[in-house]
Amino acid sequence: MPTSPSSLIELRQALRSINADLFNLIQRRRDTVRGIQTLKSSTPSDWKSFDSQRERDLFQQMRVELAALGPKELLAFSLLMEAHAGAPELYPAWSEGVHLLELPLHDFHRTNPLLLKLLSPEQFAALRLRPNFAFLHDS
């Protein structure tokens, strides 16, 4: 169905508005994560911003929304979480393959493995995890 010039202009204006909302939400999310990190700053752990059980529960609660995303959108969400949580110092750098025995070759290698475990168990099973990340099988 052809799009008329006026509807194309309206759709582009709507997209600009959505993009502005998205950028504002990303900034709010980043600021909220920083607030959480400040409150947790005295917690002793390897990654102060990573709790596999809490993350697994979060993903389970968001399962419907996450399942509606495509692989690149899941990667984008995973990257956003990683960036906001302070990888690699405070949070695992999944995108860099910190959890893998080999360098990441595919997008699913770079996606949070707990997301994969929930939404794509076959891809999770294909990950060759480093021994110190074997706990992800039990998470």
What is the chain's length? 139
The pLDDT assigned to 38 comes to 84
pLDDT tens string, the chain, 139 residues long: the values are 556 768 999 999 999 999 999 999 999 999 999 998 888 776 666 567 888 999 999 999 999 999 999 999 999 999 999 999 999 988 999 999 999 999 999 999 999 999 999 999 999 999 999 999 999 998 7
pLDDT number for residue 45: 60
* pLDDT value at residue 1: 52
Domain ranges of the chain: 1-41, 49-139
Which residue pairs, CB below 8 angstroms and at least 24 apart, start in 91-95?
Answer: 91/47, 91/49, 91/50, 92/47, 92/50, 92/133
What pLDDT is attached to residue 68? 98
In this prediction, residue 49 carries a pLDDT of 80
- The pTM score is 0.87
